Structure 1
Amino acid sequence: MKYFVALLAFVAVASAGTVGVPIDNHSIASTVVDLIEGLKEQMPCGFTGLGIPPLAPLRIDHKNIDIDTEAIKAEGTIDHFRLNGLNEFDIDEMKINALTSKVTYKFTFRDVNVDTQYDLKVLLKKYGFTINLIGAGHAKFAIKDMVIWGTLKYSLGVISGNLKLKSLEVRTHLGEVDSEIEGILGDGTINEKMNEYLAEAVELAINENEDLITDTIESIALPVVNNILDDVSIADVIAGGTGGEGGEKEVCIPPEFDW
């Protein structure tokens, strides 16, 4: 979420720079695209000034899982979790209208995938029935050609400099889903079928519920982002996003890991 706030701040600062001069929306969009490309290069190192760890890949050595909701109960552990591909995306569209404070965007993520070891007990609770899924082993899960597009509107106080997100539309479409999770209800043919069903279920759930997902993201993200913006100045975000002192950007040298 901090990464999204930082990106929004960059957009607002680029737009604010047009105050008092002729507005060139294409120039603003080009500036933002250059900033995003710079953020992509920095993602393997993270953004220390914003407290954001390396994101390409995002690694978690160990995590205990304990979830209990009306629909699902899950408990267990994941180890050596690695989320790859967050910086492997194309900017298909970036339009910014400084007069209306509106951003139109479209990104394509080529291959976002998870690689981890897991040991989980999952209880699916639905319509009075329960399904126990017990599994452990190596897991890979990949989403390919994921397109994310939409619009957002923001406001920037001329005097206060406060930034607020007014609306956020996020739409998503998945090109392909691959699931290679060992140990779901055992091995062999049953495991292969479970992976096929899981991949198909995820793809259908995303692609056939775009409106629901859009409304859910806006209802959740809008207050969260604005709450963060209340406590963060644009100057602090820009300084934190550069990765260096005095606004000078350091060269990203990704940290080394043994897994």
Structure 2
Amino acid sequence: MRTSCVIFVALLCCSLGSGKLFDDELRELTEFVRLQMRCGYPDRGVPILAPAQIAYKEIGIRSASFGCNGNFTELIIEGLDSYEFSKLEWNNILHTIKFDMNFPKISLKSSNYKLNILASLFGGDFSLWGDGVFNLELINFRANGSFIIRPKSATSGVYVKSWKVNWELEEAKSQTTGIMNSRLYSKFINDLIKEYLDILINDNPTEVSQFMEELIVPPMNVVLDNIAWYEITAIILGLVEGILPVEPIC
């Protein structure tokens, strides 16, 4: 209890000062997150993410111009813990984290997928089906932007707001098999996927940013809801030494 009070008072003093950057402490926190991704956070519903493994995943997408349904078996996502930061800053006045991070390679693989696709393209409808091995790689997937951390109160959880992040993709590689049970169709669709993802991500920043925010922020807030404001700020400011383990907690 006494330690918590000391930390809390120190944070009040720090908050009265000018905004500063605490890159070293922030990077220490990101390294701990990288380690913990090997174990997940089961108590808060966060699965193992390095790698992420899903035994079976059903897909059902429907819009005015695109429909897709089917499933993936033994889906594995690798590279989520490979992130590299070229910028990582904390503003103590605005409680804002600014960052520029890159994932050198994220791979999505499934030992067997089964998909039926119906889409409208160039004024006409076309349908495709696939049953084979799914293999997709995202090369240099970059996120650049900022978000704000706000406390619910001094002693309860925190949450993320004002998520402003842009995403860029250098290249996509697809080697999926079994499209229309044809090697020719598979090659054509793999080439189309590469071009489509390039256009989708790099030419539609607002839509992609909104999609990624809906994907990332809600589970982040679930985890942060269990962390007090003074605790997470103390870690960022480096006020408590040795609070972050050097090994993952499983």
Alpha carbons of structure 1 residues 222 and 183: separation in structure 2 relative to 1, 3 Å: closer
Q: Secondary structure at the match of 1:20?
A: helix
Alpha carbons of structure 1 residues 227 and 249: separation in structure 2 relative to 1, 3 Å: closer
Letter in 2 for 1:232: D
Aligned residues: 230
Q: Distance in 1 between matches of 2:188 and 2:48?
A: 35
**Displacement of 1:250:** 8.4
Alpha carbons of structure 1 residues 252 and 164: separation in structure 2 relative to 1, 3 Å: closer
Q: Distance in 2 between matches of 1:235 and 1:177?
A: 40
Output one character per residue of 1:170-213: Cα deviation in whole Å (capped at 9) or x when no partner: 11111111011112233223321221111111111111112343
> Which residues in structure 2 correspond to 1:41-80 (within 5 Å)?
41-80=35-74
Q: Distance in 2 between matches of 1:221 and 1:121?
A: 24
> Which residues in structure 2 correspond to 1:96-107 (within 5 Å)?
96-107=90-101
- What value does the CA root-mean-square deviation take over the aligned residues? 3.4
Structure 2 length normalisation: TM-score?
A: 0.77
Instruction: Give the structure 2 partner of residue 3 of structure 1.
Output: none
Alpha carbons of structure 1 residues 15 and 207: separation in structure 2 relative to 1, 3 Å: farther
Q: Distance in 1 between matches of 2:96 and 2:164?
A: 11
Q: Distance in 2 between matches of 1:190 and 1:180?
A: 12
Q: Structure 2: 5+ residue runs without aligned partners?
A: 1-6, 233-242
Structure 1 length normalisation: TM-score?
A: 0.75
Q: Secondary structure at the match of 1:18?
A: helix
Letter in 2 for 1:107: M
The 8 Å contact of residues 93 and 104 in structure 1, kept in 2 or not, is answered as yes
Provide the identity percentage. Answer: 20
> Which residues in structure 2 correspond to 1:5-44 (within 5 Å)?
18-21=11-14, 25-26=20-21, 28-44=22-38
**Displacement of 1:79:** 0.4
Output one character per residue of 1:218-243: Cα deviation in whole Å (capped at 9) or x when no partner: 5x4798479748x934249x79xxxx
Larger CA deviation: 138-147 vs 47-56: 47-56
Letter in 2 for 1:143: L
The 8 Å contact of residues 167 and 222 in structure 1, kept in 2 or not, is answered as no
Q: Secondary structure at the match of 1:196?
A: helix
Instruction: Give the structure 1 partner of residue 225 of structure 2.
Output: 232
